[in-house]
Amino acid sequence: MAYVFTKDLETGIAVIDSQHREIFDAMNRLADACAKGTGRQEIEKMLHFLNNYIAKHFGDEEKMHAQYNYPERIKHKNYHENFKLTVNELIKEYRTDGASIGLVGKLNSKVGMWLLNHIKREDGAFGTYLKSKNG
Protein backbone atom coordinates (compact mmCIF):
# COMPACT_ATOMS: atom_id res chain seq x y z
CA MET A 1 0.00 0.00 0.00
CA ALA A 2 1.43 3.34 -1.00
CA TYR A 3 0.92 6.22 1.39
CA VAL A 4 -0.06 9.37 -0.45
CA PHE A 5 -0.14 12.73 1.30
CA THR A 6 -3.35 14.10 -0.17
CA LYS A 7 -4.92 17.54 0.22
CA ASP A 8 -7.37 16.25 2.85
CA LEU A 9 -4.41 15.42 5.10
CA GLU A 10 -3.03 18.95 5.08
CA THR A 11 -3.41 20.82 8.34
CA GLY A 12 -2.38 24.19 6.93
CA ILE A 13 0.57 24.26 9.33
CA ALA A 14 3.69 24.10 7.14
CA VAL A 15 6.07 22.48 9.62
CA ILE A 16 3.53 19.83 10.64
CA ASP A 17 2.57 19.03 7.05
CA SER A 18 6.24 18.74 6.12
CA GLN A 19 6.87 16.32 8.96
CA HIS A 20 3.83 14.28 7.97
CA ARG A 21 5.21 14.02 4.44
CA GLU A 22 8.47 12.69 5.91
CA ILE A 23 6.70 9.86 7.70
CA PHE A 24 4.74 9.00 4.56
CA ASP A 25 8.03 8.86 2.63
CA ALA A 26 9.51 6.52 5.25
CA MET A 27 6.47 4.24 5.13
CA ASN A 28 6.71 4.16 1.34
CA ARG A 29 10.42 3.28 1.48
CA LEU A 30 9.54 0.29 3.64
CA ALA A 31 6.73 -0.74 1.27
CA ASP A 32 9.07 -0.42 -1.73
CA ALA A 33 11.68 -2.54 0.03
CA CYS A 34 9.06 -5.18 0.77
CA ALA A 35 8.01 -5.23 -2.87
CA LYS A 36 11.66 -5.84 -3.81
CA GLY A 37 12.05 -8.57 -1.18
CA THR A 38 14.33 -6.50 1.05
CA GLY A 39 11.76 -5.37 3.62
CA ARG A 40 13.38 -7.22 6.49
CA GLN A 41 16.56 -5.19 6.05
CA GLU A 42 14.55 -1.95 6.15
CA ILE A 43 12.62 -2.69 9.33
CA GLU A 44 15.41 -1.65 11.68
CA LYS A 45 15.89 1.64 9.79
CA MET A 46 12.16 2.28 9.90
CA LEU A 47 11.88 1.59 13.62
CA HIS A 48 14.86 3.84 14.35
CA PHE A 49 13.38 6.58 12.18
CA LEU A 50 9.97 6.22 13.85
CA ASN A 51 11.41 6.44 17.34
CA ASN A 52 13.29 9.65 16.50
CA TYR A 53 10.47 11.05 14.40
CA ILE A 54 7.78 10.75 17.04
CA ALA A 55 9.96 12.38 19.69
CA LYS A 56 10.60 15.39 17.43
CA HIS A 57 7.23 15.61 15.70
CA PHE A 58 5.05 15.06 18.75
CA GLY A 59 7.21 17.50 20.71
CA ASP A 60 6.75 20.14 18.01
CA GLU A 61 2.99 19.61 17.90
CA GLU A 62 2.64 19.70 21.68
CA LYS A 63 4.64 22.94 21.92
CA MET A 64 2.27 24.49 19.39
CA HIS A 65 -0.74 23.20 21.32
CA ALA A 66 0.54 24.92 24.46
CA GLN A 67 1.55 28.09 22.59
CA TYR A 68 -1.94 28.50 21.14
CA ASN A 69 -3.76 27.21 24.23
CA TYR A 70 -5.39 24.39 22.24
CA PRO A 71 -8.33 23.14 24.33
CA GLU A 72 -7.86 19.52 23.18
CA ARG A 73 -4.14 19.41 23.96
CA ILE A 74 -4.39 16.92 26.85
CA LYS A 75 -6.47 14.48 24.79
CA HIS A 76 -4.13 14.92 21.83
CA LYS A 77 -1.07 14.29 24.02
CA ASN A 78 -2.70 11.07 25.29
CA TYR A 79 -3.05 9.88 21.69
CA HIS A 80 0.64 10.58 21.21
CA GLU A 81 1.58 8.71 24.39
CA ASN A 82 -0.44 5.66 23.32
CA PHE A 83 1.22 5.70 19.92
CA LYS A 84 4.66 5.85 21.55
CA LEU A 85 3.73 2.70 23.48
CA THR A 86 2.76 1.00 20.21
CA VAL A 87 6.07 1.92 18.60
CA ASN A 88 7.97 0.74 21.68
CA GLU A 89 6.12 -2.61 21.49
CA LEU A 90 7.15 -2.96 17.83
CA ILE A 91 10.77 -2.15 18.71
CA LYS A 92 10.69 -4.70 21.53
CA GLU A 93 9.27 -7.32 19.17
CA TYR A 94 12.02 -6.57 16.65
CA ARG A 95 14.72 -6.89 19.31
CA THR A 96 13.24 -10.13 20.62
CA ASP A 97 12.18 -11.88 17.40
CA GLY A 98 14.04 -10.03 14.65
CA ALA A 99 12.69 -8.88 11.33
CA SER A 100 9.68 -10.72 9.98
CA ILE A 101 6.87 -10.39 7.49
CA GLY A 102 4.50 -10.22 10.45
CA LEU A 103 6.36 -7.24 11.86
CA VAL A 104 6.15 -5.44 8.53
CA GLY A 105 2.41 -6.09 8.54
CA LYS A 106 2.11 -4.67 12.04
CA LEU A 107 4.06 -1.59 11.00
CA ASN A 108 1.63 -1.03 8.16
CA SER A 109 -1.50 -1.67 10.18
CA LYS A 110 -0.57 -0.16 13.53
CA VAL A 111 1.57 2.72 12.31
CA GLY A 112 0.26 3.53 8.85
CA MET A 113 -3.42 3.35 9.65
CA TRP A 114 -2.98 5.17 12.97
CA LEU A 115 -1.18 8.00 11.21
CA LEU A 116 -3.81 8.38 8.53
CA ASN A 117 -6.62 8.48 11.08
CA HIS A 118 -4.75 10.70 13.53
CA ILE A 119 -3.75 13.25 10.89
CA LYS A 120 -7.26 13.45 9.43
CA ARG A 121 -9.06 13.75 12.75
CA GLU A 122 -6.80 15.11 15.46
CA ASP A 123 -4.19 17.11 13.55
CA GLY A 124 -6.84 18.38 11.17
CA ALA A 125 -8.86 19.62 14.14
CA PHE A 126 -5.83 21.50 15.43
CA GLY A 127 -5.31 23.08 12.00
CA THR A 128 -8.94 24.18 11.96
CA TYR A 129 -8.56 25.60 15.48
CA LEU A 130 -5.51 27.63 14.44
CA LYS A 131 -7.30 28.99 11.39
CA SER A 132 -10.20 30.11 13.56
CA LYS A 133 -7.83 31.90 15.96
CA ASN A 134 -5.89 33.57 13.19
CA GLY A 135 -9.03 34.56 11.35
Average of pLDDT values for 113-129?
A: 93
Q: Which of 7-16, 42-51, 68-77 has the lowest mean pLDDT?
A: 42-51
pLDDT at 44: 87
- The model's confidence at residue 38, banded by pLDDT at 50, 70 and 90, is confident
Angle separating helix axes 14-35 and 39-67, nearest 10 degrees: 170
Distance in angstroms (rounded) separating the CA atoms of residues 20 and 10: 9
Residue 135 has pLDDT above 70, yes or no: no
pLDDT value, residue 1? 66
Question: Does residue 39 register a pLDDT over 80?
Answer: no
Please indicate whether residue 15 or residue 36 has the higher confidence score (pLDDT).
15
Q: Per residue in 88-118, pLDDT tens?
A: 999 999 999 988 888 888 888 888 888 899 9
Decide which of 108 and 126 is more confident. Answer: 126
* 7-134 homologous superfamily: Hemerythrin-like (1.20.120.50)
Query: Closest Cα to residue 62, out of 49, 81, 46, 48?
Result: 81
Q: Is 75 left (phi over 0), alpha (psi -120 to 50) or beta?
A: alpha
Question: Is residue 3's pLDDT more than 70?
Answer: yes
